[in-house]
């Protein structure tokens, strides 16, 4: 069962509808017990970074998420703000501390060109940079839906990789992966067939997983292989033909 | 819009759906909620909902029903702080300010509220800049002289508003040919173009529209 984290913000319904469409059982919850029993966790989110992080803290969700995702290495998917939360800090309206699971900073998108407006709202082509199980079997030039004003800038984190980017005047991090932690800046739940496929791919990370075994073996060798979901050997490197503004 | 229409829209690669409650009273609001809930179940593209939104509680309910963004028009004119309240809680990206404008006898434009019935004395340019300042994430611009008159967008108005703000502007109202969509982007400078009837009543409309736009050098999905 996938648990979609409820922290009283954002539009969870869209994510639930998309999971229902791919036949994936899921529940919305902010209850640590339910989250503890999850086989995978999705952290969606739209809204302001500071307020939403405060909401996560207020509901004591930071501890349980860290335990389930970082310690127990359950498959995790962060969406939009759920990607930005992974960073150590965000510069959105001041400076706010994030979950800090990834060495990164969230910064305002500064395109320096009025043609590339902010917020970056609309459909945009992503360029696949690194193989990711999320992108298995999707189109060569996936076009997905973005809506954000800030973006994650990955710093020196040896275990984290930018798996895809998009261009909106500047190069923007579209997705990252750090072991069992997957996160996308775009909205798969709003990216039609392509997005549903990405969610389906995420769901496959659950299957055949044995957390009891996972817990007993936390040697560095096994990091990033939660649930036996090794990265596919095949590298996805496509060229984006993206030209104009993302709409 | 019936939920079956959405099935088509998913297949036809529609990029976004905007649903406005244009009822003159709120008597059928429950029915509207039902439509939104049904729509969102199958709508795997952004869903923007507007009409009768006057509070953050109303926005929260609509988001819970599956809306991704809300479009505010008259309520924002009557109480501009609503834009900021919504942006603070739900994020700028969630707040679309919809604006109806009409050309006056002297050639200048004026914003109208109340579904185009009440002149407000606001100029579209200054109102656009204000709503951006207050926290709007996007502007829907509807030229009510053109809406329903098949003349295409009011490109002069569109360009003025696009140049006045940094946030995306979506052109609405008056589309009768695919060329109207193209000029909205190339001449008007819109970040996105919206249309109603031409898309509802043409077979495979969105695919045709987008092919046409692509042939004219516009980057579309």
Inform me whether the pLDDT recorded for A213 exceeds 50.
Answer: no
CB contacts, 8 Å: B91 with chain A: 46-48
CATH code of A70's domain: 3.40.50.880
Subunit contact B46:A147, Cβ cutoff 8 A: yes
Distance from CA of A167 to the nearest CA of B (A): 13
pLDDT of residue A83: 97
pLDDT of residue A219: 40
Subunit contact B92:A11, Cβ cutoff 8 A: no
Query: How many other C-beta atoms lie within 10 A of the C-beta of residue A106?
Result: 25
pLDDT of residue A8: 72
Tens of pLDDT, residues B83-92:
999 998 888 8
CB contacts, 8 Å: B218 with chain A: 244
pLDDT-derived band of residue B148, with 50, 70 and 90 as boundaries? low
CA nearest to B87, candidates B127, B131, B28, B52? B131
Could you tell me the residue range of the domain that residue A157 belongs to?
2-229
Distance from CA of B118 to the nearest CA of A (A): 31
pLDDT of residue B186: 93
Subunit contact B91:A18, Cβ cutoff 8 A: no
pLDDT of residue A210: 40
Residues of A with a known catalytic role:
80, 187, 189
CB contacts, 8 Å: B61 with chain A: none
**Strand pairing report for B69-72 and B47-50:** parallel
**Nearest-CB residue to B93 (from A13, A18, A46):** A46
CB contacts, 8 Å: A18 with chain B: 44
Mean pLDDT in chain B? Answer: 89
Residue A235 covered by a domain: no
Query: How many other C-beta atoms lie within 10 A of the C-beta of residue A241?
Result: 10
pLDDT of residue A60: 93
In a mutational test of the A interface, the residue from B33, B189, B219 whose CB has the highest number of chain A CBs within 10 Å is: B219
Find out whether A64 and A40 touch, Cβ atoms under 8 Å: no
pLDDT of residue B5: 60
B19-26: long-range pairs with CB below 8 Å, 24+:
B19/B47, B19/B48, B19/B49, B19/B50, B20/B49, B20/B50, B20/B51, B20/B71, B21/B49, B21/B50, B21/B51, B21/B52, B22/B51, B22/B115, B23/B51, B23/B52, B26/B52
pLDDT-derived band of residue B43, with 50, 70 and 90 as boundaries? confident
Inform me whether the pLDDT recorded for A126 exceeds 50.
Answer: yes
Token pair in block for residue B6: 């959405």
pLDDT of residue B143: 84
ipTM: 0.85
Mean pLDDT in chain A? Answer: 84
Token pair in block for residue A195: 């997005």
CB contacts, 8 Å: B64 with chain A: 11, 13
Residue A22 covered by a domain: yes
pLDDT of residue B88: 85
**Nearest-CB residue to B168 (from A14, A47, A117):** A117
Residue A37 covered by a domain: yes
Residue A240 covered by a domain: no
Subunit contact A121:B168, Cβ cutoff 8 A: yes
pLDDT-derived band of residue B147, with 50, 70 and 90 as boundaries? low
Tens of pLDDT, residues A36-68:
999 999 999 877 898 889 999 999 999 999 999
Q: In DSSP terms, which residues pair with A146 in a beta bridge?
A: A122
Inform me whether the pLDDT recorded for B20 exceeds 80.
Answer: yes
As to burial, measured by CB atoms within 10 angstroms (0-12 exposed, 13-18 middle, 19+ buried), residue B12 is middle
Tens of pLDDT, residues B160-194:
999 999 999 999 888 889 999 999 999 999 999 98
Q: Taking CA atoms, what residue in B is nearest to A6? A: B64
pLDDT of residue B174: 84
Query: Taking an 8 Å Cβ-Cβ cutoff, which residues of chain B contact chain A?
Result: 10, 13, 15, 40-47, 63-68, 88-94, 137-138, 166-168, 191-192, 218-221
Inform me whether the pLDDT recorded for A15 exceeds 50.
Answer: yes
Distance from CA of B103 to the nearest CA of A (A): 26
Inform me whether the pLDDT recorded for A142 exceeds 90.
Answer: yes
Residue A245 covered by a domain: no
Of A2-6, A174-178, A206-210, the least confident: A206-210
Number of folded domains in chain A? 1
Tens of pLDDT, residues A99-118:
999 999 999 999 988 889 99
Subunit contact B138:A46, Cβ cutoff 8 A: no
Tens of pLDDT, residues A62-98:
999 999 999 999 999 999 999 999 999 999 989 999 9
Tens of pLDDT, residues A224-242:
333 333 333 333 222 222 3
Subunit contact B40:A20, Cβ cutoff 8 A: no
Residue A114 covered by a domain: yes
Residue A176 covered by a domain: yes
Inform me whether the pLDDT recorded for B130 exceeds 80.
Answer: yes
* HSE of A43, CA atoms in CB hemisphere, 13 A: 30
pLDDT-derived band of residue B36, with 50, 70 and 90 as boundaries? very high
Subunit contact B42:A17, Cβ cutoff 8 A: yes
**Nearest-CB residue to A243 (from B88, B191, B219):** B219
Report residue B142 CA to chain centroid gap: 7
Give the global pTM: 0.84
Pairs of residues, one from chain A and one from chain B, whose beta carbons lie less than 8 Å apart? 103
Inform me whether the pLDDT recorded for B31 exceeds 70.
Answer: yes
């Amino acid at each position: 069962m996938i648990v979609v984290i409820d922290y009283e913000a954002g539009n969870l319904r869209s994510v639930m509808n998309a999971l229902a469409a791919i036949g994936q059982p899921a529940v919305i919850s902010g209850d640590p017990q339910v989250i503890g029993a999850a086989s995978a966790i999705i952290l969606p989110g739209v809204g302001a970074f500071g307020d939403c992080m405060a909401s996560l803290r207020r509901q004591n969700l930071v501890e349980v998420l860290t335990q389930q995702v970082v310690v127990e290495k359950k498959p995790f998917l962060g969406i939009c703000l759920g990607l930005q939360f992974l960073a150590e800090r965000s510069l959105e309206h001041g400076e706010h501390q994030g979950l800090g699971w990834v060495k990164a900073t969230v910064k305002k998108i500064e395109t320096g060109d009025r043609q590339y407006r902010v917020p970056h709202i609309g459909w945009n082509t992503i360029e696949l940079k690194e193989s990711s199980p999320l992108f298995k079997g999707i189109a060569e030039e996936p076009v997905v839906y973005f809506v954000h004003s800030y973006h994650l800038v990955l710093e020196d984190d040896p275990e984290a990789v930018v798996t895809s980017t998009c261009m909106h005047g500047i190069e923007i991090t579209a997705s990252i992966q750090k072991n069992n932690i997957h996160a996308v800046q775009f909205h798969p739940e709003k990216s039609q067939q392509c997005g549903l496929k990405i969610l389906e791919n995420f769901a496959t990370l659950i299957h055949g997983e044995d957390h009891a075994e996972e817990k007993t073996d936390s040697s560095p060798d096994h990091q990033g292989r939660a649930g036996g979901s090794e990265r596919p050997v095949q590298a996805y490197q496509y060229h984006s033909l993206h030209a104009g503004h993302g709409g | 819009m019936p939920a079956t229409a959405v099935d088509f829209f998913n297949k036809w690669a529609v990029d976004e759906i905007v649903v406005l409650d244009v009822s003159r009273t709120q008597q059928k609001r429950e029915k509207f909620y039902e439509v939104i809930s049904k729509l969102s179940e199958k709508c795997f593209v952004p869903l923007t909902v507007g009409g009768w939104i006057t509070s953050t509680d109303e926005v929260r309910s609509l988001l819970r029903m599956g809306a991704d963004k809300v479009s505010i028009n008259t309520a924002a004119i009557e109480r501009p702080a609503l834009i900021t309240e919504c942006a603070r809680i739900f994020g700028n990206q969630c707040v679309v300010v919809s604006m109806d404008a009409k050309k006056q006898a002297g050639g200048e434009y004026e914003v109208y509220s109340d579904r185009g019935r009440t002149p407000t004395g606001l100029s579209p340019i200054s109102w656009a800049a204000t709503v951006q300042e207050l926290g709007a994430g996007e502007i829907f611009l509807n030229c009510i002289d053109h809406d329903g008159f098949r003349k295409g967008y009011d490109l002069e108005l569109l360009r003025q508003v696009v140049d006045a703000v940094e946030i995306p502007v979506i052109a609405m109202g008056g589309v009768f040919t695919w060329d109207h969509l193209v000029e909205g982007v190339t001449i008007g400078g819109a970040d996105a173009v919206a249309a109603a009837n031409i898309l509802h009543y043409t077979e495979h409309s969105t695919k045709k529209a987008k092919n046409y736009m692509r042939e004219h050098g516009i980057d579309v999905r």
